[in-house]
Chains A and B, each alone.
Chain A
Amino acid sequence: DAGVIQSPRHEVTEMGQEVTLRCKPISGHNSLFWYRQTMMRGLELLIYFNNNVPIDDSGMPEDRFSAKMPNASFSTLKIQPSEPRDSAVYFCASSFSWPGLEGLAGAFNEQYFGPGTRLTVT
């Protein structure tokens, strides 16, 4: 079975440019997460979708960041305009959560991560 797919794997762009990162979750998973990993801050949750609906975007750094999930098999994370401090590895992860039970203990299974996108903004 295919795991979580992310593209591109590497992105180098100039400050001010728009960057779009893409993710295809594991088929059958209904929860999707975007993370950012840096040396200074470790792994940070940016946004969480459940059944394609954004549930928690409190980790999105600022308005320059936006994420969408138009359907169950595709999500994008967009940065516009990009800045050098956005340089990081961005991970997409997916998991299965028991429908209607998301607020209860044990509702979420383990998260499976994609290979990540290494973003460098110069």
Chain B
Amino acid sequence: AQKITQTQPGMFVQEKEAVTLDCTYDTSDPSYGLFWYKQPSSGEMIFLIYQGSYDQQNATEGRYSLNFQKARKSANLVISASQLGDSAMYFCAMREDYSGGSNYKLTFGKGTLLTVNP
């Protein structure tokens, strides 16, 4: 089974609207971290937001928020007030803290390509 599943290969959103990018994960570790990265067409990987498995509140960073539903094992990224510059590939990633000493590893999903239309 895949550890990180991003079911939306592509998403479209109108400028200024909100969009939710889905991410589900699979782990039996009691402690883990979830990350979202943005990769624009220029190629760099930009860290956006982090959620720890024991965090009581959903993480927020500016226009980015993470809708963390632990029981459902989902960590969806919400982008509010979309901008043209948000058009990019978005990757969800997980770090498992008790995975046989490999707590430094990030497992990435396949990504969702977001296109923001003017």
Contacts and interface: CB of A to CB of B under 8 A. Distances in A.
- Chain B, interface residues (CB within 8 Å), range: 20 to 34
Interface in B33-53: 33, 35, 37, 42-47, 50, 52
B108 A31 contact: no
Given A103-B101, A105-B31, A107-B103, A112 B47 contact: yes
Contact of A42 (B42, B95, B101, B108): B108
Given A42-B110, A110-B35, A31 B104 contact: yes
Interface residues of A, number: 28
Contacts of A115: 42-44
Interface of A is mostly: strand
B97 interface: yes
Given A105-B98, A110-B50, A91 B45 contact: yes
B47 A108 contact: no
Given A45-B105, A111-B106, A106 B31 contact: yes
A56 B103 CA distance: 11
B103 A108 contact: yes
A97 B104 CA distance: 9
15 contacts: A42-B108, A45-B105, A48-B105, A91-B45, A102-B104, A105-B31, A105-B98, A105-B103, A106-B97, A107-B103, A108-B33, A108-B104, A115-B42, A115-B44, A116-B43
